[in-house]
Amino acid sequence: MGRVRVAVAGVGNCCSALVQGIHLYKGGGEPVGLMHKEVGGYTASDIEFVSAFDVDSKKVGRDLSEAIFSEPNNAPISTRPPKLGVTVSMGPALDSVGRFTEELVKVSDEEETDVAEELRDRKADVLVNLISGGAYGASKFYADAAVEAGCSFLNATPTAIASDTALSERFRLAGLAVAGDDLLDQVGATVVHMGLLEFLRERGVRIEESFQLDVGGGTESLNTLERTRERKRSIKTAAVSRSVPYGFPLVSGSTDYVDFLENRRDSFFWVKGRYFGGASFTVDVRLGTVDGPNGGAVLLDVIRAMKLAMDRGLSGAVLPLCAYGFKSPPKSYGLPEAYRLFNEFIKP
């Protein structure tokens, strides 16, 4: 099948978990946590990291295998990959660092890399955008660089890329695939909330009110508090609302940052409704997760599916990938239909 040559923008906790996980599964580790062992014939062993970008002085200039463990990263360590021969390059600073995180992230004084040239030189198949969620300008910069370099683009951030008609059209005209936006974690609050409401609806329940709120540690939670709280709440609420075919009072979003949680997140769910005979019920649930690894399985699936899309000559926003892996795709489906579309797409 060949290799899947991956570049990554943003060497944070999500990147750390992804790099560690791929090394673990390449080494024959038990495939616990994988959603698909193969995607169109591609396995974890086919993934090759070829380039990485960041702005943090503690990461720029270091091998990717070392940079993923640099502070303020605090994702759990499952394995330590050997040197990958990929030096983290200085990306565009732009709006990458917010006021709340500037004490944790010191911007490197290294000269900014020509991202498009680096992607071309390294023959990257797909650029995975994992930068800070509030860095809208930097996300669009990386999308533009991918188009210029002839590289497909996976957008894990809330910035509208795949769902932006003009931007996705640029990828289509360039013969490149794009997928996004805002990654839907494997066991994240949004997908659990969606699944819970879909289950209750299928059981004939009338849902009357529901909320999901969470608190977390790590720089991304701190960044959310400062810059993307309302945007994330809008995206998450819209995604969850699609699980039920009628309107009801609903809130879904992040609420606060708790430093000692580090890379952990606590999510709280509440549902009120009525069932047979109009009897009322409530559901009150707490979910505890670790942020970094929560995106790994979905990223691994979509990265491989992006290469499969390229093999097939597809371009623009690839809807089965967007619906399966993201909260804010160009066109939305319920979870069962999104999974069906993706599983049909990845058949060899």
Identify the structural domains of the chain with CATH numbers, from first to last.
Answer: 4-184+295-345 (3.40.50.720), 189-291 (3.30.360.10)
Cα–Cα–Cα angle for 212, 138, 220, rounded to 5 degrees: 35
| Parallel/antiparallel/unpaired status of strands 47-54 and 4-9 | parallel
Does residue 28 have a pLDDT over 80? Answer: no
Write the pLDDT tens digit of every residue in 265-308.
Answer: 999 999 999 999 999 999 999 999 999 999 999 999 999 999 99
Quickly list DSSP for 275-334.
-GGG-EEEEEEEEEEEHHHHTHHHHHHHHHHHHHHHHTT--EE-HHHHHHHBSS-SS---
Average pLDDT over residues 160-176: 98
Percentage, residues of the chain above pLDDT 70: 99
- pLDDT recorded at residue 35: 96
Q: Which helix (H) or strand (E) holds 49?
A: strand 47-54
- pLDDT recorded at residue 64: 98
Q: Give the distance from CA 168 to its chain's centroid.
A: 18
Task: Give the C-alpha separation, 225 to 221, whole Å.
Answer: 6
Cα–Cα–Cα angle for 99, 103, 109, rounded to 5 degrees: 95
Write the pLDDT tens digit of every residue in 320-335.
Answer: 999 999 999 999 999 9
Write the pLDDT tens digit of every residue in 192-214.
Answer: 999 999 999 999 999 999 999 99
- pLDDT recorded at residue 223: 79
Average pLDDT over residues 50-69: 98
- pLDDT recorded at residue 224: 81
65-74, 79-88, 99-108, 332-341: which has the minimum mean pLDDT?
99-108
Write the pLDDT tens digit of every residue in 130-148.
Answer: 998 889 999 999 999 999 9
Average pLDDT over residues 6-13: 97
Quickly list DSSP for 93-150.
-TT-S-TTTTTT-PBP-SPPP-HHHHHHHTT-SEEEE-S-TT-HHHHHHHHHHHHHHT
> pLDDT band for position 29 (50/70/90)?
low
Average pLDDT over residues 239-246: 94
Instruction: Give the residue from 225, 338, 308 showing the smallest Cα distance to 330.
Output: 338
Q: Is residue 214 exposed (0-12), middle (13-18) or buried (19+ Cβ within 10 Å)?
A: buried
